[in-house]
Structure 1
Amino acid sequence: MEKQQVSYWELEGTYQEIGKQMAKQPEKNHIYIPAPEKFGGKEMEEAFQLYDRYCPGIREELEGYAQEAGIAVRDIAYTWMTYLVPGCSGLILTGKKTDDGHTKIARNYEFTLEDEDLKLYRTAPAGKYAHISGSIVGFGRTEGINEKGLAVSMTSCGFPVSNLPGMRAPVLKGLQFWAVIRSLLENCGDAKEALEKVMEMPIAYNINLFLADCSGTGILFETMNGEKAYTSIGPEDEKQYLCGTNHIVIEKLVSREPAAMENSIVRRDRLTAFAEEENRIRESGLRELLLKKYPEGMRANYYAEGFGTIKSVILDTAEKRYSICWLGQEKNGWTDYFVPEKRGDYAEEKDMEIEKADPQFFAIRPLM
């Protein structure tokens, strides 16, 4: 076992004030990354025009951070990496499928530790919805739940898209997933409103986006190279769950990338079997599934290969609750955060386990 430090922070005020608060935090290595030469003044202005329209307030937050930290806005990683990763699993269960009647999203998030913040934020921008969420490159969000009970999560759909070397290059100008998720949490009150917003957003990342709210509505939205599709469930539907891992699941888009990694197919099959096993699923069973080691569960310890469990999360739309087990280790325990509740900033150490992956884990299988 090794140790990793994780932390929780509370941010509140105008976006500029929030940016200045972030600049006073330690461990800025994931935030300050000088921009490449190709990201010049023209590209930055295009990026800010996009952010101002679809992620209002983020420009002021970046400027507040830069002012307090004494760096150029251009050299904040979010500024140039968002204008256009990880492997994850996601499951939406409506209230008719859970023993407590609460609609929930469950997800595991796998990636490499070198590129992770290992932070949670309770963010309450003035005039926007407060939310608790995981962070990436400081200003971005990986999943979360807001004060209205809207839960948002994601998985990569196919090979991750990025403007970093070694990733799939974007085919259109648009947003990274972490900007999309934060915008939805701050500006949307329910899943249908969030769907309307993503349908109009230019999204460069290929994403499986999970949306749920306390009305019992669940939506799985997919985009592949700019083409979009979605499927939804509600209280009156026969099916009361949706799930996805790291490949296309909506039939309309399958021909766009008709293959997937072995582990992605196995994990989705396991999620489907789990959802079909019982009429009413207990959260204790859901937590057990997330922490159980692959292939029986969702946890993986392959950090060196870029596929180690960073966090296991359950978002409860009725309680407005964000529950997390860091690094997929049962001994780290689960911590519950509630959007209306402030608890103060803190940091702590958590255990992690590292293993080497079998090459078959990453083998490619056809979907069609």
Structure 2
Amino acid sequence: MERQNVTEEQKADYQYYEASGTPYEIGRITAQKGGSLLGIEGQLSAEQRKFAEQCRDIVQRIYPEMMEEFAGYAAALQLEENDLLWHYTLGVEGGCSGIAVQLPEGIVVARNYDFYYFENRRHLIYTRPDRGYAHIGMHEGLIGGRFDGLNEKGLYVSFNGAGQHPDPAVPGISFHLIVRYLLEKCADAKEAKEFLLSVPVKEAKSYFVVDQTEAFVAEVHPENRAIREMQNGLLVVTNHFVHPAMSAYQKQWANSVARYQTLETFGEKIRSNHSDWFDTLQDAMKDHAAPVCGHVDGLATFWSCIANTKTGDVFYSFGPVQESIQAIFSLWRL
């Protein structure tokens, strides 16, 4: 890891806390825990502002509770709600890796989140909304958003980057609010699938969804979308589209393919020896050969997650796992 990246990682803001109550109250709590925001609102062009307003209108129609949360967030920081408008439009590329394996006792899942070192907010939040399902998941600074997590019904959700925004982009809901919606509003994979096949989107992403009996990847692009189901008890996702209907929208690239193939190998190992599934998933998440666990800016692993959808156990390991350091996965339960 380069010296500059080490310095950036040492400044990372890792926290765990609870946010409960009305959407407005949850917004206030997360703002108070997070502090100041990157101030780019004044830099929006007239065209960008119009696009952000169109995206906000879609959120208002589909997920009105999020509008209340934005209001609470703005109030806590003594900002106008329009100062947060750009949070409806942001997207990320990055690189992430995920794997789900069917065991006799249920489906287990693991995931690494990778991004650029400059983004230092990494909050694990136990959210208990007064309207929706309780969930534990990661928040990385985009208001209202979650990047992965598990809800009280045993539904696991995460996203993976799949290329740049289309240009021109069409208005839609940003990925971080989609993940949050799924955790808060969907009881199982069936409900999540219905939402992902219909929700207006503005960017290319894969959404990884697992419950106690089903796992799928929704490969989503503004122009098309398709579902990949578990095959022979195994499902893997990285940062290229795999479904034949989607491969042209985000083609294979070497790092993504290497991580995909490595996780397939780990998955087959688990399928042949179920008893060591947790240790094997840990080994998969700290692999430095592909690498699944990265240390290069843009592909730097910020956290790892392992979840058992049947028991409701979810484990997180914070920070990039270097080769000489054993990953420490701490257990949280809803």
| Range of TM-score over shorter length | 0.7 to 0.9
The answer to whether the Cα contact below 8 Å between 2:126 and 2:136 also exists between their aligned partners in 1 is yes
The Cα offsets for residues 108-146 of structure 1, whole Å up to 9 and x where unpaired, read as: 111112124211111111121011111122421111110
Contact 1:155–1:208 (Cα < 8 Å) also in 2: yes
Secondary structure at 1:79 match in 2 = helix
Residue identity opposite 2:19 in structure 1: L
Instruction: Judge conservation of contact 1:47–1:83 (CA < 8 Å) in 2.
Output: no
Contact kept? 2:155, 2:210, Cα under 8 Å: yes
Mapped to 2, the partners of 1:333 and 1:66 lie a distance apart of 35
Q: Is the 8 A contact 1:170 1:225 kept in 2?
A: no
AA aligned to 1:310 is F
Q: Does 1:64 align with 2:72?
A: yes
The equivalent residue for 1:315 is 307
Higher helix residue share: 2
The DSSP-based 3-state class of the residue aligned with 1:294 is coil
- Paired residue for 1:270? 262
Q: Does the alignment pair 1:34 with 2:34?
A: no
Find the aligned partners of 2:55 and 2:139 in 1 and give their Cα distance: 20
Quote the offset at 1:274 in angstroms: 1.7
The residue correspondences of 1:166-205 to structure 2 (distance < 5 A) are 169=167, 171-205=169-203
Give distance in 2, aligned partners of 1:337 and 1:80.
Answer: 30
Alignment match, 2:236 = 243
Matches within 5 A, 1:31-110: 32-35=39-42, 36-38=44-46, 42-76=50-84, 79-82=87-90, 85-96=93-104, 101-110=105-114
Q: Which amino acid aligns with 2:312?
A: K
TM-score norm. by structure 2 comes to: 0.87
Alpha-carbon contact 1:131-1:144 (below 8 Å) kept:
yes
2:296 to 297, 302, 307: 302
**Partner Cα separation in structure 1 for residue 170 and residue 79 of structure 2:** 29
Task: Letter of the 2:125 partner, please give it.
Answer: Y
Q: Is the 8 A contact 2:88 2:174 kept in 1?
A: no
Is the alpha carbon distance of 1:221 and 1:243 closer, same or farther for their aligned partners in structure 2, counting shifts above 3 Å?
Answer: same
- Cα RMSD between the aligned structures? 2.3
1:143 aligns with 2:148: yes
1:290·1:328 contact (CA, 8 Å) conserved in 2? no
Letter in 1 for 2:247: V
Equivalent residues, number: 318
Deviations 1:27-76 (A, max 9, x none): 4335x542513367754542332112332311001111112211122222
Take 1:76 and 1:13, find their aligned partners in 2: how far apart are those partners? Answer: 21
Q: Kindly provide the amino acid, as one letter, of the partner of residue 206 in structure 2.
A: N
Calculate percent identity across the aligned residue pairs. 25
Paired with 2:309 and 2:328, the residues of 1 have a C-alpha distance of 21
- Report SS of the residue matched to 1:252: coil
- The answer to whether structure 1 residue 283 and structure 2 residue 278 are counterparts is yes
Range 140-149 or range 67-76, more displaced: 67-76
**8 Å contact 1:173–1:204 — kept in the other structure?**
yes
1:220 to 2:227 alignment: no
Decide which moves more: 189-198 or 217-226.
217-226
**Cα separation, 2, equivalents of 1:263 and 1:77:** 34
Taking a change above 3 Å as real, the CA distance of residues 103 and 170 of structure 1, as seen in their structure-2 partners, is farther
| SS of corresponding position for 1:118 | strand
Q: If the length of structure 1 is used for normalisation, what is the TM-score?
A: 0.80
CA distance in 2, matches of 1:175, 1:83: 10
Query: Per-residue CA shift, 1:135-175, capped at 9, x if unaligned?
Result: 12242111111000000012112x233xxxxxx54532212
User: Contact 1:84/1:174 (CA < 8 Å) preserved in 2?
Assistant: no
Match of 1:200, SS? coil
The offset of 1:185, in angstroms, is 0.5
1:223-246 deviations in Å (ceiling 9; x for gaps): 13430100224xxxx611111111
Which residue in 2 is equivalent to 1:256?
Answer: 249
Please list every run of 5 or more consecutive structure 2 residues that lacks an aligned counterpart in the other structure.
Answer: 1-5
Q: Aligned partners of 2:268 and 2:312: how far apart in 1?
A: 26
Q: 8 Å contact 2:27–2:71 — kept in the other structure?
A: yes
Does the alignment pair 1:160 with 2:164?
A: yes
1:119 to 112, 117, 123: 123
1:307-343 C-alpha deviation (Å, 9 max, x unpaired): 111111112211222211112324462111112xxxx
* Equivalent residues of 1:15, 1:60 under 8 A apart: yes
Q: 1:227 to 1:177 in 2, by over 3 A?
A: same
Give the distance between the partners of 2:16 and 2:168, measured in 1 at CA.
32
Report the CA distance shift for 1:76/1:326 in structure 2 as closer, same or farther (over 3 A).
same
Q: Say if 1:170 and 1:149 are closer, same or farther in 2 by CA, change over 3 A.
A: farther
Q: For residues 75-130 of structure 1, what are the alpha-carbon distances to aligned partners after superposition, in whole Å with 9 as ceiling and x for unaligned?
A: 2266343499221111111233xxxx231221111111212421111111112101
- What residue in structure 1 maps to residue 208 of structure 2? 210
